[in-house]
Structure formats: C-alpha cells, structure tokens
Structure 1
C-alpha cells in the first residue's frame, strides 16, 4: 500500500482509493503508470522510460501516454498539475510525499532502483539525444523500436550518424544562451457546455506537452488562478515569462474552431495569431483534440523558430522578386510535372546566380533537386551532380543557421531520398525537436524505416502524421505512406482506401498509381489494378521494371525482397521489363 496526498494505491487489489475511501476506477495502463510515478516520487521519469515500462516490446504513439496521464490527473483532481508536473525537455515529476514501500512497487512493476533506471534511460536514448541537442537541454526521441536491444542499436546508429552530420549542425545545436520561456494559458470555451470545457482543457494539455519537446524554449503552465491579463502586467508577471500563448475554442454544428495567439508578456503586443478548424464528422474526440493542438502547435513552432532565428541575420534576405521565385518553386515541389520541374529549376538557378548567399534560394533549389532525384528526372550523371550540389548547399546553409527549420526539413528529405538512412534518422529527429508536429519529417522518418525493413514502425509514424495532419500541403504523402506500409505488411485491402485518398489529392507523380495497382492486385481486383498501372504509365511514360525499382544502396534485405515482389507484380500487370 502506498499513500500520498490522501490517496491510497493498493497493489494487491489493483485499486486507487480517494481520501474518503471510495474506489476510483482507472484503466490498467493508467494504474500501472500511477504506480510507476508513486514508486519514483521526487525523480523525473522520462517519456521513454514510461513507454518502455508501460508498453514493453510494443510500439504505441505518444497519444497513448498522454491519455493515461490525463486520466490519472482527472482521478487525482490534479487539473492544476501540482502532483504530476511536466519538466520541460526531460519528462514528468511526481511531486508528492509517498509513504509505504516504494521499492516493492518498483520491483513489481519490473523496475530497478531509481539510479539504475536513470542509467538505463540514458543508455537507451539520453546519450544520443544529448549529442544531438547539446548539453544545455537533453531530449529523448523514440524511433518506435520493439525491444531494448533494437533501441540500443538504433542509438548507436544515431550516434554514428551524428558524427557524420555534426559539421552541418555545429555550432548552433545548443539552445540559445537566453532560452525564452513560453507560458501556455488554458484555452477557454465560449459557453457552459461541459464537453467544450473538457475539449479546451485537453487541447491545452496536448499543446503544452508538445511545446515542451522543443529544444530551444522552456514551457510553463500557470496556476489556475493566473489570468492572461495578469501576465501582461509587469508587477505580477513571472520574471522568466517572455511570451504568452492563449486562445478561445468555439463549437459549431460540425466543427471546432480554435483562435490562438502569442503575445509579448512584457508589452502585451500580439506577435502571432492563427485560426484552426477541425471537422467533427467521421473523427473521434481524441483525433479532434490532436489535430486542434497540432494545427496550433505546428504554426506556433514555425513562428517561434522565426522569432529566435530571424532572417535579418541572413545575407540577401527573402524579399521582393526573390520571394516570388521561392514561392513559385515551392508550389512545384510536391505537386509537379517534369515540365514544371525544369522551369522551376531554371528560375531558381537564375535567381541564385544573382543572390548566391541567399539561404532560402539555396534550400529551395536543393529541395527541388531532391524531388528530381526521387522522380528519376535526371540522367545517371546529372543525378550524381545534382545530389552533390544539393548536399553541399544544404550543409552550407545549416552551418550558417543550424536551427533553420526549412533547411533542416530539406536536409531530412534529401538524406532519405538519397538513401543516407543513418544520417536521415538524425536530421529528421532534429526537425522534430524544433517542431514536434511536423508531418513532413514524420513521413521522411517513416520512409527511412521502410527502407530499413521496419514496416510496423513506419506505419506508426505515418499514422502519427495523419493524427497531426500538419502541414496540410503534405497530407497526400503520409496517406501514401500508410497505404504503402500496409501493402508491405501484406494488408492489401487496408492499403487501397489510403492510396485512393492520397491520389485524390495529388495524382501527378504516377508512383502512387503503381502502389495502388499492386494493392488492388493483392485484393483480387485485377482489372482495376491494370487500369491503375495504365494511369501510372500515362503520368510516367517510359517507366520500366529497371527504372521504377528504388535504389538498393543501404537498404535492408527485408525491404529489397519486398521490392522485388512489388516489381514482379507490376510486370505481371503489364509494366515493361526493361
């Protein structure tokens, strides 16, 4: 029996009892998590440690962890987060005096002593995270591995990858010396609807938890009696608060709309605003909460990055005609044809000749060339030259601005597209350390895991990107990823609707039609499969089994074997062999 704050945790009866003695119902995983917290009271427990202890050898998304924590807080009446506290960038602290025998609870939960557990957490993730994020603030990033052995292998790979990638991230991998503090106020709802109040609370919690992952800021949540207005008054404002995030949630017949803003805590000046709407039809409440928090969080992360690393320090800033060139080129990267690709490349090269130090032009041209490499729009010699030039430009850009999100995103995508998988794990994790809701980075991470033969992990990351659904322009990619991962796992029928939804957004490349053709064939729909392949051949004329197959460099035997089956099926459906 453990006792804390008037509550009793009865391990023998698997029961939590309130101060009055009445039992409080908790789901088994939530009970196990509370037991772990109580057994480790006064010590920060990392998210990775929680995930490994509560879901051993099973990959689950962080939403499962957050749901358990919310259930525990509700059971303990801890809406003010006084018992379970978020320690920004490190994990959670159970701040209560606990009586009883915590050691027996730790042993029964499969835990060793606190110091041993801390060592295990560092071994499994802390060392690599500290290497990537710098000593000022440790981060732990899980790649969804299924065992401690696999986790250690992945960490070793990440360390090796960082040794290769370090020149691109130095010297700015460490958070700025004057790390700003963001205070997240509880979102308010516009009425007395209990569901709206609960929704606002849950969205606030999800946003605060996500922001706490960002390496370059500190995140705090105020006491329940602190208001946004009081934070704007210098005499009452916490000394370490730089910006305040607040907002209002409104409900209509078919949607939720969240109006959010970030203000300067000292002056009250509004620095950023956004409006995010989420459809309530055909989605459950948890998904609505996730997408509202992600919609605000992604835009806020981008804005915070721009505030911390303004363009003013960049030679040839993005202005005037250069801005037009970049915007037009960006529109050609995800939804493009070979003709638009060629025109965009010529336009960017011309602009870069006039402004060779402009980071935006360097990064955009590299991103476009990455797309050309993926689409096989270069000859062998041209592809080698484009890869070398794109890498060189991206590395120079990241040496100048190591925490420049557009550059990091392009580098993550480039490394995945060129089969530099160890480096891509590090680069994509770096993106997510600055923008935890970045669906594009989650998609690239999933692609890397596919090529490494970790299809289950890839599917989990693609589905996480879909739960966030940000940025919307990349939605077709993770829909394609979910379909592809399901296909590789042998779930052809499950793959088909995801692929069809992706194609409905952007059918231009032709490759999704090939994946759809294989999925349809696996579902016994041969005529539809042949029609899908015919559509792919229209969009990608000249495709053969030789030039459709993905590059083999650094890919795992598991993926190569699956790729061979994929090509054989396409040849059976009519793809020319060579």
Structure 2
C-alpha cells in the first residue's frame, strides 16, 4: 500500500516518494523517519522514540534529528509545517488529517513473479565526466542508455530502466547502495571518464548492492568514433561477470548499433531526451533533432523510428490526419527494415499501427511481440504492450505487464500512470484508476474526462463534477463521443461503461456541467 501525503505519494514497500507525479530523491534516514511518522499519525512522538526508531543503538546529536525533519518537510513540500508539526519541548507529530486514502499497489503475487523473472537486476548509473568537456556528458549519457539496452538482450538479466538509474545517481555516494537495494537492484555499475588527446579513458566497475563487494572492474581506452564498440563490450563484460556462460548463449543476436555517425547519434540522444520531457514546443524541437540526425546518417533506423513517433505525438496520436498516420507507419516500417533487430523500432511501429485503428491491431500485436522477444526487460515495451492488451479487453494480462514495467522502472515517466489508469478502469477498479490518473503532472481535458468517469462510477459524484469543470475549462467543445472514441477499446461494453460514467458525472455535449 502507498499513502497520499498532501500532493505526495509515499510507497513504503517500494521505498519511493513521488510528488506531483515525479520521483523525489530521498536519503535513507530521511525515508525511515518519514515512514515512521506516517505509521504513527496523530500522536506526539518524542525525540527519544524517534532516535530509537531511526538510529537504533547509535549515538547521534539532536542536530541530526532536526536536519532529518527539515529534509522530510522539504521532500513532501511541507514548507508551512502543516503536515509534520513541531510540538515544543515534546517532539513531533504527523498530521493525519492531511493524508489521503491508501492507494492500492500491484498484487504481491504479480510483483513477486515479475521479480523472480527479472533476477539478477543491475542498475547502470551515469558516468562521471569532466564538466569542462561539453560533448562528454551527452555522449556518455547515451552510452549508458545503449549499455542498458544491450544488457537487456541477455534474457537472464534485468536492467533497471535508465530513468530510474539516473534518478538513483542523484543520491550521494554513501546512499546509493541503500537506495539501489530498495529499488530492487542487486548490482550497480558505475564509471568515470577522462578525456584523452583523441578520445577517452573510462574506468567501469560493478558492485554487489548487498555486500558492497566489487564484482568486476576494467579500464577502457578508445577513440571517440569507437564509442559503439565500447558500449557493446561493456555490456558483454557486465553480463559475463553476473552470469556464468551467459555470453555465448545471448550473443546469438548481436545488439544493433544506434547510428553510424557520432554527430547523428548526438541528435538522436537530444531528440529522445526532449520527447521524454514536458513543456511548450519540446516535441517539435525533438523532431528537428531527428531530422538533423537523418541528414547526417540517412540509414539510421532508430532516427527514422523516433521521427515517426515524434510526428505521431505532435499529431496527437489517433487524432492526427490520416496522411500523418500513413507517413508515420511507412517511416516506422522503413526503420524496421533498416534495423530489423532493434526492439525500439518494432515497438514504435506497433504504436503507429495501434493508433491507425482496430483494423491494424493484429499487425500491432506482432510487432509488440517482436519487440519483447528482442528486449524482454525493456520497461517501456512492457508498459505499451500491457496497454495494448488492455485495449484488446485483456485487462488482467495488461495490468500484469504494466506492473512488471513499473517494477523494472519504479521512477518511470508520467505516461505510465495513464496506461495503468486505463487498465484499472477497464477492470472496474475505479478508485485505483482515479488514483493513477491523479498522478499525471499535467492533465489535459481528456485526462480530466477519465478522472470524472472514474469518480462517477466509483460513486463520488461531487469529485466527478469538479473534474468535469476542470476539463471543460480546457476544452469546452470536447464531446462524450470524442472521449469514448479516444478509448480505442475493442469490446463495445468497455466504451459504454466509460460513456455511462461521463453521463453520471454530468459531461454533456452542451458544454454545461450538471447540477
């Protein structure tokens, strides 16, 4: 179970804290103190009790407790001290009245099965580079992404998703192992880079999380244009260090190179980063980077695939003109022809087919399956395949895949909340669906419509109508028919359930909100 604290969500079991839908890096002692406060709401906790709970058998000063309380308040946005109260000369109290209802998390059986299937798990942290070298940071961030992707080809290894690994790296060195353990990472790979006259020297090491023992370390010297060979060999050496004889079994299919030209690769990296962000014009800017990548390397399947995805996003998926949908599909098909063993190309092709309509679902299913076969531990592929299963009416199977994706990428991007909300809505778990949709950091009218339907179907008409008002302010012309059509569900009864929820919430097509 997770608990809502103001605009934050504390997941005690997973050891994570999210605020406004985004992960908040938390020091281990700060997390332990916050969890203890939340478990004891409405009760004054003495300093001695807090010392015993967080620092057992350890002598620490009151300054340590004061600093930790300050960190707790900062992490949950409690600048006014209305959630964590100071009780003069007595201690501290967590204000229970501000906490929301528990949020159900994935079933334990599903999570346990996903964890068993994913062992051992390794987190690839961003390399430490010379800040004076402007090219080194994006180049080696990209190298980490490609090493993460390449490691996923070894089907007996799970890799913590890049987004989560980079958030993990925000912790200080002494906190990384503890945080990695809470996220389920059995091993941590990290490296440091020094610039040479015509290239780089990189020292990479692999450490076991539980014991802190170094499993493997090696120094590599290479020219800049040899970055792709460096990525491949690091992935192989990590896999070999983790699992005996895995290399010969898994390298039957060699990982694809991302692009033949380093400058083109820089543009691909920048474009992908922009697509993962939020803000005015970021998708259009990302598209320009993919265009520049193709100008430098027309044979890059990955650049073609991401350009197709950018066009699909800019066109607003299924709402895009038919010509845009056709061009995105054709470009994604070209990408798979150029890079037939690149899982991301197949995943993006599946997405373009998905939004062309139900007639393309069979073809989309084949390419989702191909992407998973090529890269079975890619969190984004698992999540989008799960979403596709939901649209097919397979709610339980889809939710299980989405839960596995969340486990592999606990610090996941915000769109996971939308896809998981859709699954829960299809399954009739309306309160959980509403909780998931609520975590979206930026809600458009379509999001508010789903929230309204969930609250109405769950019996909370007042909250449903409040959501209708929010949605109507953003798009007064949005109709019930538009919203139901956007659901893309194969089973008519699922669309009718959404329609019923919208009608109960008072979302009528006149633009007025019911009494």
Q: TM-score, normalised by structure 2?
A: 0.49
